[in-house]
């Protein structure tokens, strides 16, 4: 019996799978009962399954990339992340705070509307990145104070580049400390 | 006809209605601002050099004029090499309705009816259909606009396939927008309903052959609908999304055309237009087309990248879309803060992931490489609950009332 942990974006789901002849016995989370699954591979990334007493035949398309698992079933794509046990436990006490704003796409900075030290409100326009010949406004995701701007007008930026640091208003004292550490990890 | 300012002048001469505006060519800030006051707010600024929504800005009031003027010129320069812009009256609740035309070297011009392309985001079309639901109670308007499109094409001695774009106000008045001197993305819905192969006619016209379809013989059958599949995030202002397509599922059924430019394994970059594919359906009625498209989209997946498929499904399911209340403000009015309802993964998804994992690990995996017949991934298909119903059995069919 092998145990697998999947993060479905809301919680960690624990799954145990056991093969029994042509069938699979699957235990989800800490349920008492095993679910009996009849499954067949139907070519690359394709799986057909029935489970329990459900009359439906589920045709699924699956793919994986690193720890990400994509499952297309019933007209929707679900994304699960396969997680290691240690990480799963750690994640529950850890609170991640993101202080940086990154470029959503490769492009060029055409306008910067704020300067270091400015107080901005949530949804205020911070700067404009031009990409694919369209101007994209980068808005403040929360109210705060501009701590640093990493580019000047005319600079080319890559997707994921940190454009500026914005310290949230409420927690600016504790934030300053944490921001220093978060910058270190970024370098 | 590629230059919008020049095109407007020709249309005025040919009595094709145009929107009040300034198209004189002056680019002076203070002069254009005065023109905006003369036309009356709201006004819209557009790039002279091209389309695609680039360099376009709506200005609701005079305070916004300066920043919009600057941004539009920057975008126009970046997209088309020249910063030139023009300005016109902005129409509330407009529909985008365009007429497909064909013109040959002998001076014959015919139209192949309209396409309504009002469902847009970032001023770019995502859903197109023909016939337009707006013409359902206005057959006369369809004829008038068809004639106007022919006049527009004749005014410039146009040859080739082309499209005359109009903006139509809710009272039925229509204005010339621009002429697209090419085959458009959405041409397939016209081909589906008229049965006329536009690409074939482009080649015939180019080789000097005269048009044989005459206007009275060109008819439409049923209704066709197109959606554009984009690698973009509808939850984040429709920003293009890069990534690698890991696996695909495409719908296949009668009356469904899938023009795709990608397959599993492809890398989608943000350096090009993020359109992945177009999906076109043809049915007897608008209602049937919407149903057929909804089913096709429920069998459509590109795993590993973000696409607008789920968003398109919800647009098609919206009561306002079903009623044909399609204006260019549709997305803004009904879907401005749309978010994907990402429920907890259902049990079948978890089971599939778990079994897949166990199979990948190899313990006695039986491989069945049969891929054929894999076009339906819908566990809720009514055929699965058809019971004693059988196709083609007289006893059951005879229960239908005779019409």
Give me the residue spans of the domains in chain A: 2-93, 100-186
Instruction: Compute the distance between CA of residue A127 and CA of residue A129 in angstroms, rounded to an integer.
Output: 7
Q: B93: phi > 0 → left, psi -120 to 50 → alpha, else beta; which? A: left
Residues B45 and B101 in one domain: no
Instruction: Compute the distance between CA of residue A56 and CA of residue B372 in angstroms, rounded to an integer.
Output: 20
Chain B positions in Cβ-Cβ contact with residue A40 (cut-off 8 Å):
366, 368
Separation in Å, CA of B195 to nearest CA in chain A: 31
What's the pLDDT at B275?
93
**Distances in Å between the alpha carbon of B308 and those of A165, B255, B268, B328?**
30, 22, 14, 18
| 3-state SS assignment for residue B186 | coil
Judge: B349–A60 Cβ closer than 8 Å, yes or no.
yes
What's the pLDDT at A140?
85
> CA A123, A126, A130, A135: dihedral to nearest 10 degrees?
40
Residues B129 and B42 in one domain: no
In this structure, is residue B215 part of a structural domain? yes
Residues B278 and B208 in one domain: yes
In this structure, is residue B11 part of a structural domain? no
**Distances in Å between the alpha carbon of B205 and those of A75, B75, B98, B112?**
44, 36, 21, 16
Residues B137 and B68 in one domain: no
What are residue A5's phi and psi, to 5 degrees?
-110, 130
Instruction: Compute the distance between CA of residue B359 and CA of residue B365 in angstroms, rounded to an integer.
Output: 6
Separation in Å, CA of A146 to nearest CA in chain B: 23
In this structure, is residue B361 part of a structural domain? no
- Of B58, B74, B89, the one marking the end of a domain is B89
User: What's chain A's average pLDDT?
Assistant: 80
| CATH number, domain with residue B33 | 3.30.1490.20
Instruction: Compute the distance between CA of residue A29 and CA of residue B347 in angstroms, rounded to an integer.
Output: 11
In this structure, is residue B288 part of a structural domain? yes
**CA nearest to A65, candidates B393, B324, B303, B181:** B303
Residues B194 and B256 in one domain: yes
In this structure, is residue B224 part of a structural domain? yes
Judge: B379–A58 Cβ closer than 8 Å, yes or no.
yes
Give the angle subtended at the CA of B203 by the CAs of B201 and B208, to the nearest 5°. 90
- Of B335, B350, B374, the one marking the end of a domain is B335
Chain B positions in Cβ-Cβ contact with residue A127 (cut-off 8 Å):
none
Q: B159: phi > 0 → left, psi -120 to 50 → alpha, else beta; which? A: beta
Strands A107-112 and A119-120: unpaired
- Of B281, B311, B335, the one marking the end of a domain is B335
Contact assessment for residue B167 and residue B191, using Cβ atoms and an 8 Å cutoff:
no
Contact assessment for residue B322 and residue B290, using Cβ atoms and an 8 Å cutoff:
yes
What are residue A30's phi and psi, to 5 degrees?
-110, 30
Does a cis peptide bond (omega within 30 degrees of 0) precede residue B42?
yes
Residues B43 and B190 in one domain: no
Instruction: Compute the distance between CA of residue B3 and CA of residue B51 in angstroms, rounded to an integer.
Output: 10
Instruction: Compute the distance between CA of residue A169 and CA of residue B375 in angstroms, rounded to an integer.
Output: 53
Instruction: Compute the distance between CA of residue B2 and CA of residue B266 in angstroms, rounded to an integer.
Output: 33
Contact assessment for residue B202 and residue B161, using Cβ atoms and an 8 Å cutoff:
yes
Instruction: Compute the distance between CA of residue A2 and CA of residue B348 in angstroms, rounded to an integer.
Output: 19
What are residue A138's phi and psi, to 5 degrees?
-95, 120
**Non-local CB neighbours of B67 within 8 Å, separated by 6+ positions:** none
Contact assessment for residue A103 and residue A163, using Cβ atoms and an 8 Å cutoff:
yes
Beta bridge partners of B267: B244
**Non-local CB neighbours of B87 within 8 Å, separated by 6+ positions:** B21, B22, B32, B35, B36, B39, B43, B44, B45, B46
pLDDT-flagged residues of chain A (< 50): 88-98, 172-187
Instruction: Compute the distance between CA of residue A73 and CA of residue B377 in angstroms, rounded to an integer.
Output: 7
What's the pLDDT at A97?
43
Chain A positions in Cβ-Cβ contact with residue B357 (cut-off 8 Å):
4, 17, 69, 82
**Non-local CB neighbours of A19 within 8 Å, separated by 6+ positions:** A25, B358, B363, B364
Residues B174 and B263 in one domain: yes
pLDDT 10s digit of each residue in chain B, 403 long?
A: 567 677 777 888 888 988 888 877 889 999 999 999 998 888 999 998 876 677 888 898 889 999 999 999 999 998 888 899 999 888 878 999 999 999 999 999 999 999 999 999 988 999 999 999 999 999 999 999 999 999 999 999 999 999 999 999 888 989 998 899 999 999 999 999 999 999 999 999 999 999 999 999 999 999 999 999 999 999 998 999 989 999 999 999 999 999 998 999 999 987 788 899 999 999 999 999 999 999 999 999 999 999 999 999 999 999 999 999 999 999 999 999 899 887 678 899 999 999 998 887 654 444 444 433 444 556 566 666 555 555 554 444 444 555 4
Residues B81 and B103 in one domain: no
Residues B276 and B155 in one domain: yes
What's the pLDDT at B352?
94
| CATH number, domain with residue B175 | 3.30.470.20
> CA A120, A121, A123, A125: dihedral to nearest 10 degrees?
-30
| 3-state SS assignment for residue A121 | coil
Reported ipTM: the value is 0.72
Strands A46-51 and B223-230: unpaired
In this structure, is residue B354 part of a structural domain? no
Residues B52 and B176 in one domain: no
**Residue pairs spanning A and B at CB distance below 8 A:** 199
In this structure, is residue B84 part of a structural domain? yes
In this structure, is residue B363 part of a structural domain? no
Domain coverage including residue B315:
95-335
Q: Most B CBs within 10 Å: which of A76, A109, A123, as the mutation test of the B interface? A: A76
> In the CATH hierarchy, which top-level class contains the domain A2-93?
alpha beta
Residues B71 and B124 in one domain: no
Residues B116 and B81 in one domain: no
Q: What burial class does residue A15 get, using C-beta atoms within 10 Å of its C-beta: 0-12 exposed, 13-18 middle, 19+ buried?
A: buried
Task: For chain B, say whether A53 makes contact (Cβ under 8 Å).
Answer: no
DSSP B335-384: HTT-----PPPPHHHHHHHHHHHHHHTTTTPPP----TT-----TT-GGG
Judge: B368–A43 Cβ closer than 8 Å, yes or no.
yes
Yes or no: domain A100-186 corresponds to CATH 3.30.950.10: no
Task: For chain B, say whether A31 makes contact (Cβ under 8 Å).
Answer: no
**Distances in Å between the alpha carbon of A111 and those of A30, A107, A137, B97?**
54, 12, 9, 35
**Non-local CB neighbours of A93 within 8 Å, separated by 6+ positions:** none
Judge: B368–A10 Cβ closer than 8 Å, yes or no.
no
What's the pLDDT at B371?
39
Taking only the tens place, the pLDDT of each residue in A109-146 is 999 999 999 999 888 889 888 877 777 888 888 888 99
**Distances in Å between the alpha carbon of B291 and those of A148, A178, B283?**
52, 52, 9
Structural domains of chain B, count? 2
Known catalytic residue at B8: no
Contact assessment for residue B72 and residue B85, using Cβ atoms and an 8 Å cutoff:
yes
């Amino acid at each position: 019996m092998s145990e697998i942990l999947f993060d479905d974006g809301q919680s960690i789901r624990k799954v145990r799978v056991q093969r029994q002849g042509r069938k699979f016995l699957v235990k989800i989370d800490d349920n008492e009962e095993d679910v009996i699954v009849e499954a067949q591979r139907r070519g690359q990334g394709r799986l057909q399954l029935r489970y329990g007493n459900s009359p439906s035949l589920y045709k699924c398309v699956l793919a994986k990339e690193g720890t990400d698992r994509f499952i297309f079933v019933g007209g929707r794509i679900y994304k699960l992340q396969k997680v290691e046990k240690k990480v799963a436990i750690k994640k529950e006490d850890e609170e991640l705070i993101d202080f940086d704003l990154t470029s959503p796409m490769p492009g060029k900075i055409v306008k910067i509307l704020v300067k270091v030290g400015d107080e901005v409100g949530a949804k205020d326009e911070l700067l404009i990145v031009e990409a694919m010949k369209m101007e994209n406004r980068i808005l403040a995701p929360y109210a705060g104070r501009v701590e640093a701007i990493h580019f000047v007008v005319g600079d080319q930026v890559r997707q994921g580049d940190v454009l500026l640091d914005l310290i949230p208003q409420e927690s600016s004292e504790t934030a300053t400390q944490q921001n220093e550490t978060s910058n270190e990890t970024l370098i | 006809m590629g230059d919008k300012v020049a095109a407007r002048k020709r249309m005025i001469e040919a009595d094709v209605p145009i929107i009040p505006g300034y198209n004189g060519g002056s680019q002076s800030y203070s002069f254009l601002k005065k023109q905006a006051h003369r036309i009356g707010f709201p006004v819209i600024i557009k790039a002279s050099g091209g389309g695609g929504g680039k360099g376009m800005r709506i200005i609701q009031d005079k305070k916004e004029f300066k920043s919009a003027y600057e941004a539009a010129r920057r975008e126009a320069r970046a997209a088309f090499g020249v910063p030139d812009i023009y300005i016109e009256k902005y129409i509330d609740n407009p529909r985008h309705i365009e007429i497909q035309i064909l013109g040959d070297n002998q001076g014959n011009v015919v139209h192949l009816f309209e396409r309504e392309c009002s469902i847009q985001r970032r001023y770019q079309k995502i859903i197109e259909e023909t016939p337009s639901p707006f013409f359902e109670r206005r057959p006369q308007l369809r004829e008038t606009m068809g004639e106007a499109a022919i006049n527009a094409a004749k005014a410039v001695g146009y040859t080739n396939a082309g499209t005359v774009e109009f903006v139509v106000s809710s009272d039925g008045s229509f204005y010339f927008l621009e002429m697209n001197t090419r085959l458009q993305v959405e041409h397939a819905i016209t081909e589906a309903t008229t049965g006329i192969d536009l690409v074939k006619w482009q080649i015939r016209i180019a080789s000097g052959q005269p048009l044989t379809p005459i206007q009275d013989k060109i008819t439409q059958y049923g209704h066709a609908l197109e959606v554009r599949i984009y690698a973009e995030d509808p939850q984040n202002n429709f920003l293009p999304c890069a990534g690698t397509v890991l696996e695909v599922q495409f719908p296949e059924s009668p009356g469904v055309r899938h023009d795709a430019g990608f397959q599993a394994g492809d890398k989608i970059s943000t350096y090009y237009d993020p359109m992945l594919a177009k999906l076109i359906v043809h049915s007897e009625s608008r209602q049937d087309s919407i149903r057929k498209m909804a089913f096709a989209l429920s069998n459509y997946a590109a795993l590993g990248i973000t696409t607008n498929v789920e968003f398109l499904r919800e647009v098609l399911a919206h009561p306002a879309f079903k009623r044909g209340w399609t204006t260019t403000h549709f997305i803004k009015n009904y879907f401005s803060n749309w978010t994907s309802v990402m429920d907890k993964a259902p049990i079948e998804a978890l089971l599939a992931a778990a079994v897949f994992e166990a199979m990948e690990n190899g313990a006695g995996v039986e491989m069945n490489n049969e891929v054929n017949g894999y076009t339906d991934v819908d566990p809720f298909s009514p055929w699965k609950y058809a019971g004693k119903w059988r196709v083609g059995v007289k006893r059951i069919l005879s229960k239908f009332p005779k019409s």
